[in-house]
């Protein structure tokens, strides 16, 4: 049982983290060169028009007023309107449309990492120094070493071009039109009751998830292996075996739960990285998620979009870490004491 005090403390710590990120983002954007008003008006616009836009946006107000207004609006989840990419559209609307795309990719990528990484790590540990162990370790090392911009096109080449069993890009076949309910295309396809559309969405999601999940899988399996190796040498494991318990039951019942704690940390950190690092996967597979949006927003100086996206990332990252902390205390109740 998680103590309320532990949970409250962790929730309260979200406040300084988000405030810190918001302040750093505000500072960096104001230190970077370029004039947002000029970006909106265009390079050929008159100085008078640029000044007018500056006044409209409040860019001529003292900097502390701008900072206060930014924080106050951010508390109300108002990040203003996009300057360039979706000119005039509220940032929250842009994020609401784009974010589920990346979230879905990260969830499936992480699921692939967990589903394959944990069993491989356990197998590698219980069969230490065997052929299975060596193969798993080589596989993990390869997974960590291969960059996405190489593995992505390679998988497209094999599965889409040569074997022709999976689509090359996009989220769903153009034959289907699915109403967005959650924004997660596989879930929306299921909700619509169209099984063919669902299968199409799953097919489209398979390769990007695999690409993004390989790195995660490699890291999880390595961590699971070393953690499990440490646990199976503990006295309580020997005692369980001495009492006549089978090897598999001992590992799964007594070892797995204890070995899982450092792995949960890696899963949490990885999930945050998957959200932020989906840029390459989205580019390779032509998925219009939040990663590409952030890069585009930075390159064209769309400040409100950058601020909104980074704050959303930071908030989610801290939420994931909160989830990790809660999982710790479930796995080992001594932790929240």
Of the candidate spans 28-36, 90-98, 131-139, 207-215, the one that interacts with other proteins by CB under 8 A turns out to be: 28-36
Buried b (16+ CB within 10 A) or exposed e, 9-25: ebeeeeeeebeebbeeb
Interactions with other proteins, residue window 54-83 (CB under 8 A): 62-64, 67
Q: Classify residue 144 by burial, with Cβ atoms within 10 Å: 0-12, 13-18, 19+.
A: middle
Neighbour-count burial for 313-332, b at 16+ CB within 10 Å, e otherwise: bbebbbebbbebbbbbbebe
Distances (CA, A) of 183 to 54, 82, 189, 289, 327: 35, 21, 10, 11, 27
- Nearest residue to 201 (alpha-carbon basis) of 164, 176, 165: 176
Q: Smaller CB distance to other proteins: residue 65 or 138?
A: 65
Q: Per rule CB under 8 A, is residue 21 in the interface with other proteins?
A: yes
19 lies in the site for other proteins, by CB under 8 A: yes
On the 0-12 / 13-18 / 19+ scale of CB atoms within 10 A, 34 is exposed
272 with 21: CB under 8 angstroms? no
Nearest-approach distance from CB 218 to other proteins, in angstroms: 22
CB of 167 to other proteins, least distance (A): 41
Return the residue of 186, 221, 321, 327 that touches other proteins, per CB under 8 A: 321
Selected range binding other proteins among 8-16, 99-107, 120-128, 274-282, rule: CB under 8 A: 8-16
> Which residue, 67 or 315, has its beta carbon nearer to other proteins?
67
For position 22 contacting other proteins by CB under 8 A, the verdict is yes
31 binds other proteins (CB under 8 A): yes
**Single residue of 3, 8, 20, 319 touching other proteins by CB under 8 A:** 20
For position 34 contacting other proteins by CB under 8 A, the verdict is no
Options 2, 6, 7, 17; binder of other proteins; rule CB under 8 A? 17
- Only segment of 18-26, 153-161, 205-213, 250-258 that touches other proteins (CB under 8 A): 18-26
* Contacting residue, 16, 34, 58, 333, with other proteins by CB under 8 A: 16
Spatial separation of the C-alpha atoms in residues 193 and 249, rounded to whole Å:
41
Which of 3, 8, 11, 27 is in the footprint of other proteins by CB under 8 A? Answer: 27
Are 281 and 152 within 8 A, CB to CB? yes
Could you tell me the sign of the dihedral formed by the alpha carbons of 179, 182, 186, 191, in that order? negative
**Contact footprint for other proteins (CB under 8 A):** 10, 13, 16-17, 19-28, 30-31, 62-64, 67, 321, 325
């Amino acid at each position: 049982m998680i103590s309320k005090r532990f949970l409250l403390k962790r929730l309260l710590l979200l406040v300084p983290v988000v405030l810190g990120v918001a302040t750093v983002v505000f500072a960096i954007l104001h230190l970077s060169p370029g004039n947002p008003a000029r970006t909106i008006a265009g390079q050929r616009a008159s100085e008078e028009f640029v000044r007018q836009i500056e006044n409209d946006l409040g860019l001529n107000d003292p900097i502390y007023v701008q900072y206060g207004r930014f924080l106050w609006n951010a508390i109300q989840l108002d990040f203003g309107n996009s300057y360039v990419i979706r000119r005039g559209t509220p940032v929250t609307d842009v994020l609401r449309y784009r974010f589920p795309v990346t979230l879905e990719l990260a969830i499936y990528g992480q699921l692939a990492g967990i589903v394959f990484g944990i069993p491989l790590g356990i197998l590698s540990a219980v069969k230490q120094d065997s052929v299975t162990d060596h193969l798993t370790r080589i596989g993990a090392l390869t997974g960590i070493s291969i960059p996405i911009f190489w593995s992505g096109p390679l998988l497209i080449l094999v599965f889409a071009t040569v074997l022709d069993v999976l689509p090359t890009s996009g989220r769903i076949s153009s034959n289907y039109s699915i109403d967005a309910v959650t924004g997660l295309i596989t879930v929306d396809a299921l909700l619509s009751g169209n099984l063919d559309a669902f299968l199409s969405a799953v097919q489209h999601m398979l390769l990007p998830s695999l690409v993004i999940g390989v790195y995660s899988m490699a890291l999880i399996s390595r961590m699971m292996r070393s953690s499990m190796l440490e646990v199976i040498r503990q006295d309580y494991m020997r005692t369980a075996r001495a009492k006549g318990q089978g090897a598999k039951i001992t590992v799964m019942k007594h070892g797995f739960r204890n070995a899982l704690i450092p792995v949960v940390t890696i899963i949490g950190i990885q999930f945050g990285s998957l959200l932020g690092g989906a840029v390459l996967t989205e580019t390779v597979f032509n998925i219009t998620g939040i990663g590409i949006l952030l890069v585009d927003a930075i390159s064209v100086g769309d400040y409100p979009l950058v601020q909104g996206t980074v704050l959303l990332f930071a908030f989610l990252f801290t939420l994931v870490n909160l989830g990790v902390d809660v999982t710790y205390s479930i796995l080992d109740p001594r932790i929240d004491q």
